[in-house]
């Protein structure tokens, strides 16, 4: 199971990071960053499987692909922003992490506008 690999990488990286933290903090940070990237790559393939399934369901339900692709972009932005913010927090840069989170939220809001407009149009059509 992949979770064992992920947890193994996390535990090994934590032990290595703690070992180097006192004498070589820059190496400790690099270990944390590399471990985060490795774990992200592990889950990326699983995320692709989920996206393929959602795409298949959308085609069956005849949902407009513009909405589905927008939702996929929103999910991607959320995951990438969270990952980047966590890396910055690990490096002790909470202020930069906050800016990444804010940027992610703004980009999600911008991408969500066409979905909101479509939803409002549907509501107006149902009422009228």
pLDDT tens readout for residues 56-72: 888 888 887 888 888 88
| Structure tokens, 103 | 């940027």
Neighbours of 50 (CB within 10 A): 10
DSSP code for 5: H
Token pair, residue 126, equals 């149902």
**Mean pLDDT of the residues in the chain:** 88
Work out the pLDDT band at 29, boundaries 50, 70, 90. Answer: confident
Task: Give the model confidence (pLDDT) of 90-122 as tens digits.
Answer: 888 899 999 999 999 999 999 999 888 888 998
Residue (of 94, 91, 74) closest to 30 by Cα position: 91
CB of 97 within 8 A of CB of 85?
yes
Domain boundaries, the chain: 1-55, 64-128
| pTM confidence score | 0.72
What is the per-residue pLDDT for 115? 87
C-alpha 126/C-alpha 63 separation (Å) is 18
């Amino acid at each position: 199971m992949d979770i064992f690999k992920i947890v193994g990488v996390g535990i090994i990286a934590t032990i290595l990071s703690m070992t180097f933290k006192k004498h070589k903090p820059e190496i400790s940070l690099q270990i944390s960053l590399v471990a985060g990237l490795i774990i992200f790559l592990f889950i990326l393939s699983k995320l692709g499987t989920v996206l393929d399934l959602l795409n298949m369901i959308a085609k069956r339900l005849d949902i407009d692909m513009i909405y589905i692709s927008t939702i996929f972009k929103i999910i991607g932005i959320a995951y990438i922003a969270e990952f980047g913010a966590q890396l910055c927090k690990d490096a002790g840069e909470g202020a930069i992490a906050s800016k990444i989170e804010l940027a992610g939220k703004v980009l999600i809001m911008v991408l969500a506008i066409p979905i909101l407009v479509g939803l409002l149009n549907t509501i107006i059509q149902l009422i009228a």
